[in-house]
A and B are shown apart, each in its own frame.
Chain A
């Protein structure tokens, strides 16, 4: 692919993260993960839950220290949150005390943009995520999907070079997720936004990505990187095509192994807890 030949903007090299836990001893959450993202590329990281995706997300966002390895943005090694990286979190993260406009204008306020200018800017991004008409509402008055769109617009308003998203649609129902996925794709194409999406949803990953990185379950390693050669622009309609089905099947074959290992792990842990109780 053309995007892969240009100089990568985000490089992650040999990341190792270990957590000390009181019950299970040291847990290796991320094991020697390396990846790179080219400008304008859409990369997804997929893996069963508990495989270390959020940990990796926090490392790349500069929110977690104490790891081995190196993360660099445009050749510069990061040591904390980097101005070029915008993050969208898995949990609900809007500010309930700010209206939709003020939420989205938050990063603009930080750089000292004058009020009328930033409101105008915020409106632009609110429109981009399809929330026009809700500018003066507060998050408490919106549905979960709408709130997640507010978070997305807020991060987009800071115009990050790299957009990092941690399962942004995980809490949404299937229909909302598909429509919001279309929205993200369209925005990504319009803005040529370099995007790294973390997900556990295969359909979502295949629908949107140029490449998909499949992670193993515990310790979280890179299992495989799959190139998705589907034509763009894509919409959720592509989900029905045969090529799409092949990619899904291929990634599912990889993931099934990991997911079942994850389930066994859960079962043994539950059994251990049961034994300890009885």
Chain B
């Protein structure tokens, strides 16, 4: 009985979420129609919806969408490999941790996007500049969260391993790493957010390739409705990534 009520509330939640979004857009639409909000600054939601077909048909959106998504995926894979490896190394070598932890943390909050001219010089006006910008900006949270997960492994679990005479590599693979997994996933999720923001940002800045460049072009043409429509596609990329990450997490950690 209560379980059923609970179930119903769960299926209700996304509906309420969607509804509140619809109400928000209707409200904006109204405010624009009665002239409280300037329609040349904020385009009416109805116009944005109408512009979707135009953006899709005329602006080669599929190609751009795939490009941005591929850049994110590449940065995400590199991020996971190098970020987790970095965290593991810092955990393994105390000196490295003491030497680097502070400036890695500082780097996490630094506006690395401002370094894009340097990356342009190194990688040229190519997708690699964009990927590397996303990668560099998003690396620190993955390193730090990996380190945090490994160092906060409960003492007693390590002692269980020691009491069973585990070798150092068994201790790592069978205890430390699985224990740190939840925190590492938090790091990867954070890293993906950082990467996506920076990738779209740099595409916008250097006007190259994917959705960011399209937003730039449309904004320059003063096609406001089209600009907002392309932002919706950026959101779609992020939703796709988070859904697949959740799937991966559920597959790796079936017990939650």
A residues touching B (Cβ–Cβ < 8 Å)? 61-63, 80-81, 83, 85-87, 89, 91-93, 95-97, 99, 106-107, 110, 138-141, 158
Contact = CB atoms under 8 A, between A and B. Distances in A.
B164 A97 contact: no
B164 A106 contact: yes
Contacts of B254: 138
Interface stretch (B65-73, B106-114, B152-160): B152-160
A63 B154 CA distance: 15
Contact of B163 (A86, A91, A97, A141): A86
What secondary structure prevails in chain A residues at the interface with B?
loop
Contact of A95 (B157, B163, B170): B157
Contact of B156 (A83, A91, A138): A91
Contacts of A91: 154, 156
B166 interface: yes
Contact of A89 (B160, B164, B170, B253): B160
A93 B157 CA distance: 6
Interface residues of B, number: 20
B165 interface: yes
Contacts, number: 51
B9 interface: no
Contacts of B157: 93, 95
Contacts of A83: 165
Contacts of A138: 254-255
B149 to A, nearest CB: 12
A158 B179 contact: no
Interface of B: 154, 156-157, 159-160, 162-166, 170, 174-175, 178-179, 181, 253-256
A89 B157 CA distance: 10
Scoring A80, A96, A138 by chain B CB atoms within 10 A of each residue's CB, the highest score goes to: A96
Given A81-B165, A95-B179, 4 more contacts: A81-B162, A91-B154, A97-B255, A106-B174
Across chains A and B, which 5 residue pairs bring their CB atoms closest together, nearest first? A138-B255, A87-B163, A91-B156, A97-B178, A93-B156
B255 A93 contact: no
A63 B163 contact: yes
B179 A107 contact: no
A63 B159 contact: yes
B163 A92 contact: no
A93 B160 contact: yes
B81 to A, nearest CB: 21
